[in-house]
Amino acid sequence: MRVLAAMSGGVDSAVAAARLVDAGHEVTGVHLALARNPELFRSGSRGCCSLADTNDARRAADVLGIPFYVWDFSEQFADDVVADFVAEYAAGRTPNPCLRCNEKIKFAALLERGIGLGFDAVATGHYARLQRHGDSVSLYRAAEQAKDQSYVLGVLSAAQLGRCEFPLGEVTAKAELRAEAAERGLLVADKPDSHDICFIPTGDTAGFLNDRLGQRTGDIVDENGDVLGAHLGHHQFTVGQRHGLHLSVPAGDGRPRYVVGVDPVANTVTVGPKGSLAVRTIRGIRPTWTEQPIAGSWRGLVQVRAHGEPMPATIEAADGTVTVVLDTPAFGIAPGQAAVCYDGERVVGAATIEATNS
Amino acid sequence: MSTSTRSYLDHAASSPMVPAVAAAMGEVLLLAGNPNSLHQSGRSARRVLAEARESLAADLGAQPDEIVFTSGGTEANNLALLGAPRQGRPLVAISAIEHPSVAEFTARCDAVRVLPVAGDGQLQPGALSELGTDVALVSVMWVNNETGAIQPLGEVVAAAHAVGAWAHSDAVQAFGHLPVNFAESGLDLLSVSAHKLGGPVGVGALVVRRGVKLTPVGFGGGQEAKLRSGTVPVALAHGFAVAARLAVSQRDSEAARLAGLKARLAAGLDQIDRSRLNSAAKSSPAILNATFSGTRADDLLLLLDAAGIDASTGSACTAGLHQPSEVLLAMGRSASDARASLRFSFGWSTTQADIDRLLAVLPGAVAQARKA
């Protein structure tokens, strides 16, 4: 098989490519240039868009003896991921840019270009498992739950998954993977894992959004509408957030207060007790399915964060929406996040959270 | 599909070393001694260096004391631009299609006038007519490294001298392929490099006309006429001289042979829909540049690479990221066409089989890249 291995410059994608070479595939490495003005060096462990990462990826490809190219997806990334990220916050929602990148860039623009050039599949270092049966394929959680990344792949369609390879799905411990990398002579064996959002290497999401959306003073109110304080822009707040509120009026009961709502039109942030964050029903839009589209009602598990717990629920899909009723209320679920549905370990599909109800 | 024997069509990036040159260098590499030392070993090294300088000068139509060995073409160009004094004459004029080792001078000096080129990659007629007495140096390359376009050096020299300016030419892609005679050219400064003509990487020279006084860019032991300090690598200089002698002695027959290969390739490319040659009628026999509209050049390179063919875009990369060619943009091509262009460059090891292999693969690669 001719496989295009997406190489970020990290240890995971390097070992993924190496394993495919071992398996006898014809592997070509490709690094995605996503930043318009890449920084020379990583700051800390963050980021996947620095020139140092490009060089790490190239060096790994050279060690493996495979061709290596850098493909420029910076324009698509700016439009489909970064602009969407900013627009979602501006609309009072909490987006997941990694999911969006997988959906629009890695397993769309990159995959299509690779297929066009005669490749059979795209491989990444994601921790997830694929099980093929005949012409179809199912997506499962990784063997190592702590590293499982099936959530950020939950938006992929059957057609996309059919062209994927995830060689790290059976890895049971990251330490073993690092040892394997060292054994293979890959210099990234000890490179720290990347965290946070790659296009915000400082980790300062609020500052990043301020630069793009500006600061606009608004009220922080309680659930009765009484003003408790001021903020500099609703986009700096996410439902479930507890810190950074700087309220001038103490809570009557002395208990912590959380952001329970963000109103982008009125530019108000509503705070309340933890109890007000309890969510029982989730309404999702733009559903995607990893296999056949599903209609009707079924019992399953729902996960709403990359490292969140799977929650038992009754799920119903109809007319382009998905309604999730959780068995036990959950806290701090924000519109914009993705609800990924599982059947046991198997990923069924995903939807963007539009609204929640207690 | 990967192959053990490759078709190397990227001589303009670096020509493989001629085996005879490697053999000649091998003997010198083992020679002890710094050519500046007074003892016997030093004298032996100095003799080899002097002979290399004389041999190279003869092949360049220059005097031995006009040769300043450098680490390559880039350093030679840097030395010419940074070393030319500009008292009373603040301006430097360069063409719009210079190699980065000349073009990036604009980042060091804001008094640079850029001379435009026409659609065929030649300096625009009349581009030189506006030079004034405020110009210290005019730098126009002999052969463009991306398109192979041969520039009108005679006009450049005449125009520069008419206003009392010096004339410099980056002849890195010309020397060894075209007749290059420093004395006859009238140039004041000329840059050449060894590894573009079958010599070793890491050595070049700036030819400095007698009477032309440059300011050194670096400081040190004052080697190379006090212009370029640092111990001269004798083996590299020797290899350069041997390679230059070989190239110059076979130049006319090789140029004719490469022109034949280039014509064969051009005829084949003509059969590819929506392709366009970017190499002017008056261009080096060793370089052919073509646009394949509707493709990304790096996709074509990937497909050719997989088919055993080494080619290039010819333009600069940032961390391996293909940028649209500044040269083609200067020639008026669109950004998308400037991203859809390849350079094929030939040299002593290029055979008709290489061209035929390319022509067998390229039409399919272009069709595939257009769909990707």
Question: Cβ of A38 and B306 within 8 Å?
Answer: no
Question: Cβ of B368 and A117 within 8 Å?
Answer: yes
Q: Which residues of A touch B298 (CB under 8 A)?
A: 69, 71
Question: Cβ of B299 and A113 within 8 Å?
Answer: yes
A321's tokens:
């929406």
Q: Which residues of A touch B321 (CB under 8 A)?
A: 33, 70, 72
CA-CA distance, A9 to A29, in Å (whole number)?
Answer: 11
By C-alpha distance, the chain A residue nearest B297 is A71
CA-CA distance, B262 to B276, in Å (whole number)?
Answer: 14
Total beta-carbon pairs less than 8 A apart between chain A and chain B? 45
Q: Do domains B7-16+251-371 and B19-249 have the same CATH topology?
A: no
When pLDDT is averaged across residues B123-142 and rounded to a whole number, the result is 94
Minimal Cβ distance to B372: which of A26, A70, A117: A117
Burial class (CB in 10 A: 0-12, 13-18, 19+), A213: middle
Question: Cβ of B302 and A72 within 8 Å?
Answer: no
* Predicted TM-score of the model (pTM): 0.89
Confidence grade of residue A198 (pLDDT, cut at 50, 70, 90): confident
CA-CA distance, A177 to A126, in Å (whole number)?
Answer: 13
Amino acid code (one letter) for B239 = G
By C-alpha distance, the chain B residue nearest A65 is B2
A111's tokens:
């995959």
Q: What is the DSSP string of A71-121?
A: EE-HHHHIIIIIHHHHHHHHTT----HHHHHIIIIIIIIHHHHHHHTT--E
Pairing label, strands A258-263, A296-303: unpaired
**What is the percent of chain B with per-residue pLDDT over 70, rounded to a whole number?**
98
Pairing label, strands B166-170, B189-193: parallel
Which DSSP category does A188 fall into? Answer: G
Task: Kindly list the distances between the CA atom of residue A63 and the CA atoms of A29, A66, A107, A281, B358, in Å, as whole numbers in the listed order.
Answer: 11, 8, 26, 51, 28
**Would you say residue B195 has pLDDT above 60?**
yes
Q: Are B61 and B175 in contact (CB under 8 A)?
A: no
Q: Provide the sign of the torsion angle of the four alpha carbons A46, A48, A54, A56, taken in this order.
A: positive
Chain B nearest C-alpha distance from A113 (Å)? 5
Give pLDDT tens digits for B144-165.
999 999 999 999 999 999 999 9
**Would you say residue B365 has pLDDT above 60?**
yes
Q: What pLDDT is recorded for position B147?
A: 97
**Would you say residue B331 has pLDDT above 90?**
yes
The number of angstroms, rounded, from the C-alpha of B33 to the middle of its chain's C-alpha atoms is: 31
CA-CA distance, B118 to B94, in Å (whole number)?
Answer: 15
Q: What is the DSSP string of A18-42?
A: HHHHHTT-EEEEEEEE--SS--SS-
Question: Cβ of A118 and B368 within 8 Å?
Answer: yes
Give me the active site residues of B, please.
317
User: Residue B70 in 3-state DSSP?
Assistant: strand
When pLDDT is averaged across residues B205-219 and rounded to a whole number, the result is 97
Helices (H), chain B: 19-29, 40-60, 73-83, 100-103, 153-162, 182-185, 234-249, 251-269, 297-306, 326-330, 335-338, 352-371
When pLDDT is averaged across residues B191-197 and rounded to a whole number, the result is 98
Higher pLDDT, residue A21 or A189: A21
Q: Closest by alpha carbon to A32, among A135, A104, A129, A91?
A: A104
Give pLDDT tens digits for B228-266.
999 999 999 999 999 999 999 999 999 999 999 999 999
Question: Cβ of B302 and A117 within 8 Å?
Answer: yes
Tell me the CATH architecture of domain B7-16+251-371: Alpha-Beta Complex (3.90)
Place of tokens 């009477």: B211
Higher pLDDT, residue A15 or A39: A15
Q: Which residues of A touch B369 (CB under 8 A)?
A: 116-117
Q: What pLDDT is recorded for position A45?
A: 42
Chain B nearest C-alpha distance from A112 (Å)? 7
Question: Cβ of B303 and A117 within 8 Å?
Answer: yes
CA-CA distance, B227 to B223, in Å (whole number)?
Answer: 7
CA-CA distance, A120 to A102, in Å (whole number)?
Answer: 18
Q: Which residues of B touch A24 (CB under 8 A)?
A: none
Q: What pLDDT is recorded for position A246?
A: 84
Which DSSP category does A190 fall into? Answer: G
When pLDDT is averaged across residues B16-32 and rounded to a whole number, the result is 95
Chain B nearest C-alpha distance from A147 (Å)? 30
Q: Provide the sign of the torsion angle of the four alpha carbons B31, B35, B39, B43, taken in this order.
A: positive
Name the residue ranges covered by the structural domains of chain B.
7-16+251-371, 19-249
CA-CA distance, A241 to A223, in Å (whole number)?
Answer: 15
CA-CA distance, A28 to A114, in Å (whole number)?
Answer: 10
Q: Which residues of B touch A33 (CB under 8 A)?
A: 319, 321
Give pLDDT tens digits for A55-87.
999 999 999 999 999 999 989 999 999 999 999
Please provide the average confidence, as pLDDT, over all residues in chain B: 95
Amino acid code (one letter) for A252 = G
CA-CA distance, A32 to A14, in Å (whole number)?
Answer: 14
Total H helices, total E strands in chain A: 10, 17
Q: What pLDDT is recorded for position B302?
A: 95
Give pLDDT tens digits for A274-319.
999 999 999 999 999 999 999 999 999 999 998 899 999 999 999 8
Minimal Cβ distance to A38: which of B301, B319, B368: B319
From first CA to last CA, the distance across chain A in angstroms is: 50
**Would you say residue A231 has pLDDT above 70?**
yes
Give pLDDT tens digits for A136-177.
999 999 999 999 999 999 999 999 999 999 999 999 998 999
Higher pLDDT, residue A34 or B210: B210
CA gyration radius, chain A: 21
Question: Cβ of B319 and A70 within 8 Å?
Answer: yes
Q: In what order do the strands lie in the sheet with A121-123?
A: A68-72, A26-33, A2-6, A121-123, A164-165
**What is the percent of chain B with per-residue pLDDT over 90, rounded to a whole number?**
92
Q: What percent of chain B is helix, strand and coil (3-state, nearest 5)?
A: 40, 15, 45
ipTM: 0.86
Contacts of B123 (CB under 8 A, 6+ apart): B95, B115, B116, B117, B140, B151, B152, B155, B156
From first CA to last CA, the distance across chain B in angstroms is: 19
User: Residue A258 in 3-state DSSP?
Assistant: strand
CA-CA distance, A340 to B280, in Å (whole number)?
Answer: 59
Minimal Cβ distance to B302: which of A51, A69, A72: A69
Q: Which residues of B touch A67 (CB under 8 A)?
A: 302, 305-306
A144's tokens:
């190592």
* Best of B3, B301, B321 to mutate (most A CBs within 10 Å, chain A): B321
CA-CA distance, A14 to A181, in Å (whole number)?
Answer: 8
Give pLDDT tens digits for B57-116.
999 999 999 999 999 999 999 999 999 999 899 999 999 999 999 999 999 988 999 999
User: Residue B123 in 3-state DSSP?
Assistant: strand
Q: Are A186 and A132 in contact (CB under 8 A)?
A: no
Give me the active site residues of A, please.
101, 198
Place of tokens 């006038």: B113
Give pLDDT tens digits for A31-51.
998 887 665 544 444 444 578
Q: Backbone phi, then psi, for B151, in 5-degree steps?
A: -90, 150
When pLDDT is averaged across residues B327-331 and rounded to a whole number, the result is 95
When pLDDT is averaged across residues A321-339 and rounded to a whole number, the result is 95
Confidence grade of residue A197 (pLDDT, cut at 50, 70, 90): confident
By C-alpha distance, the chain A residue nearest B306 is A67
Higher pLDDT, residue B281 or A345: A345
Question: Cβ of A116 and B372 within 8 Å?
Answer: yes
What is the CATH code of the structural domain delimited by B19-249?
3.40.640.10
Chain A nearest C-alpha distance from B321 (Å)? 6
Confidence grade of residue B281 (pLDDT, cut at 50, 70, 90): confident
Q: Which residues of A touch B305 (CB under 8 A)?
A: 67
**Would you say residue A250 has pLDDT above 80?**
no
Chain A nearest C-alpha distance from B264 (Å)? 27
By C-alpha distance, the chain A residue nearest B368 is A117
Please provide the average confidence, as pLDDT, over all residues in chain A: 91
B1's tokens:
């599909």
Q: What pLDDT is recorded for position A42?
A: 47
Chain B residues at the A interface, defined by Cβ less than 8 Å, are 2, 298-299, 301-303, 305-306, 319-322, 368-369, 371-372
CA-CA distance, A260 to A239, in Å (whole number)?
Answer: 5
* Best of A70, A73, A122 to mutate (most B CBs within 10 Å, chain B): A70
In what helix (H) or strand (E) does residue A343 lie, and over which residues does it extend? strand A338-343
Task: Kindly list the distances between the CA atom of residue B39 and the CA atoms of A132, B231, B233, in Å, as whole numbers in the listed order.
Answer: 76, 16, 18
A43's tokens:
């700051």
A96's tokens:
């997941």
Confidence grade of residue B316 (pLDDT, cut at 50, 70, 90): low
CA-CA distance, B206 to B70, in Å (whole number)?
Answer: 7
Q: Closest by alpha carbon to A2, among A27, A24, A39, A19?
A: A27
Domains of chain A and any CATH numbers: 2-190 (3.40.50.620), 215-272 (2.30.30.280), 277-357 (2.40.30.10)
B4's tokens:
């053990």
